[in-house]
């Protein structure tokens, strides 16, 4: 079949309402900005944000500042010291990253809350929060780092956390180890049964 016949068949299949693009219209239109959100979209967004604020249990009360050169770490009762050691040495590969450097403290609180909830929802085990570091005890990055430590311990999902290994940001970042979800446990049990069976 000739190219001309294929073109005719193609045009016939498309129908008469289809018009070819005019020359120069094969690129994205960057001249026009997207339309503003509708009233309904703005209302839904405001409600979702208000619901999230109500759910966010992370305390914004006073925090004891960690020393600027001191690593931060925590392990929940019942978690083996070996888990914390491996976390400290970067032996668990972070599956997701949250960057809160230079964000206002309230934005850090909101983003960390969302991030840990999303990580839990997706059955992630090890995540990394990048917050930066400051050489002064009251430097902004150290204040954020101190709040991150306080907030992580307020999540039931967080089993342990530790300052990151140098390759992942050192004192400017923190690993968090999350508890395995019931879904993940069930999948592990199924895998083990298949291996045995």
CA angle 43-45-47, nearest 5°?
70
Q: Record the pTM.
A: 0.68
Mean pLDDT of 37-55: 68
Q: Report pLDDT for 192.
A: 77
- pLDDT for the residue numbered 85: 96
Between 190 and 150, residue with greater pLDDT:
150
174, two tokens: 């923190």
Which of residues 33 and 157 earns the better pLDDT score?
157
Output the pLDDT for position 17. Answer: 66
User: What's the mean pLDDT in 132-151?
Assistant: 93
pLDDT band at 1 (very low <50, low <70, confident <90, very high): low
User: Quick one: pLDDT at residue 16?
Assistant: 64
pLDDT at position 197 over 90: no
Confidence bin at 196 (pLDDT 50/70/90): confident
Confidence at residue 126, expressed as pLDDT on a 0 to 100 scale? 96
Pick the more confident residue, 78 or 193. 78
Return d(Cα 49, Cα 42) in angstroms, integer.
Answer: 11
Q: Indicate the average pLDDT of the chain.
A: 85
**pLDDT range class, residue 12, cuts 50, 70, 90:** confident
In the sheet that holds 158-163, the strands lie side by side as 73-75, 158-163, 173-178, 126-130, 96-99
Rounded Cα distance between 173 and 143, Å, is 13
- At residue 51, does pLDDT exceed 90? no
Residues 6+ away with beta carbon under 8 Å from 183:
123
Q: In terms of CATH architecture, what is 73-185?
A: 2-Layer Sandwich (3.30)
If one compares 190 and 74, the residue with the highest pLDDT of the two is: 74
Residue 24: what pLDDT? 56
Where residue 78 falls (left for φ over 0; alpha for ψ -120 to 50; beta otherwise) is left
Supply the pLDDT for residue 34: 63
């Amino acid at each position: 079949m000739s190219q001309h016949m294929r073109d005719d068949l193609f045009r016939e299949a498309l129908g008469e309402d289809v018009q070819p693009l005019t020359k120069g219209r094969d690129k994205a239109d960057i001249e026009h900005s997207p339309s503003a959100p509708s009233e309904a979209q703005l209302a839904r967004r405001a409600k979702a944000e208000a619901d999230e604020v109500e759910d966010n249990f992370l305390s914004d009360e006073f925090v004891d500042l960690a020393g600027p050169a001191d690593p931060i770490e925590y392990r929940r009762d019942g978690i083996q010291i070996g888990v914390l050691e491996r976390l400290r040495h970067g032996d668990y590969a972070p599956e997701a990253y949250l960057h809160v450097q230079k964000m206002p403290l309230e934005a850090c609180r909101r983003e960390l809350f969302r991030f840990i909830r999303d990580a839990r929802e997706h059955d992630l085990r090890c995540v990394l929060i990048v917050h930066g570091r400051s050489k002064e005890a009251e430097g902004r990055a150290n204040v954020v780092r101190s709040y991150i430590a306080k907030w992580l311990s307020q999540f039931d999902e967080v089993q342990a956390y530790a300052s990151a290994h140098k390759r992942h940001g050192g004192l400017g970042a923190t690993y968090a180890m999350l508890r395995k979800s019931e879904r993940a446990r069930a999948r592990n049990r199924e895998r083990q049964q298949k291996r045995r069976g």
